[in-house]
Amino acid sequence: KAGVTQTPRYLIKTRGQQVTLSCSPISGHRSVSWYQQTPGQGLQFLFEYFSETQRNKGNFPGRFSGRQFSNSRSEMNVSTLELGDSALYLCASSSAPGGQETQYFGPGTRLLVL
C-alpha cells in the first residue's frame, strides 16, 4: 500500500501571498488531519476532515482553511502569508476520525515565507 503523499515537498513564498498544499491519504482512509510543526510550538493541530466534512478545528486564524474531496484527497490553503507561517506542514490519514485510530503521516511540506 502506498503511504501518505504530500506535494509539494518544499515551497518558498513571500509575505502576503497565498499557498495551497495537497495531501493524498492511504488508499481506503477517509480521515485526513493537518498539523503545523515549528521548533518553538511543536506539532499543532490545524483541522481534521472525514468524508468531506470538517470534524475538528484547531486554534488557528481564518487564514488557514482546508477541504477534502470525494476521493479523500485534501488540500489546505493559507492566505495572506506571514513570516510566522514558516513551518513544516504535515498531514496524516487514518481509517476513522478522532484521535483513537493510528495516524499515518506524510513526509510534510516545508514552507518558508520570506
Partner 1 sequence: TQLLEQSPQFLSIQEGENLTVYCNSSSVFSSLQWYRQEPGEGPVLLVTVVTGGEVKKLKRLTFQFGDARKDSSLHITAAQPGDTGLYLCAGAPGSNYKLTFGKGTLLTVNP
Least distance CB 106 / partner 1 (angstroms): 5
Among 48, 81, 85, 87, binds partner 1 (CB under 8 A): 48
User: What nine digits make up the cell of 24?
Assistant: 493524498
Q: Which three cell numbers stand for residue 60?
A: 488557528
6 touches 106 (CB < 8 A): yes
CA distance 107 to 50: 21
Residue closer to partner 1 by CB (options 46, 81) is 46
Q: Is 20 in the site for partner 1 (CB under 8 A)?
A: no
For residues 18 and 37, which CB has a smaller minimum distance to partner 1 in the complex? 37
Give the x-and-dash track for 53-92 against partner 1 (CB under 8 A). Answer: ---x-x-------------------------------x-x
Whether 1 contacts 27, CB under 8 Å: yes
Closest separation between CB of residue 86 and partner 1, Å?
16
CA separation for the pair 43, 114 (Å, rounded): 22
Dihedral sign, Cα of residue 27, residue 30, residue 36, residue 41: negative
Of 14-22, 61-69, 77-85, 103-111, the window that binds partner 1 (rule: CB under 8 A) is 103-111
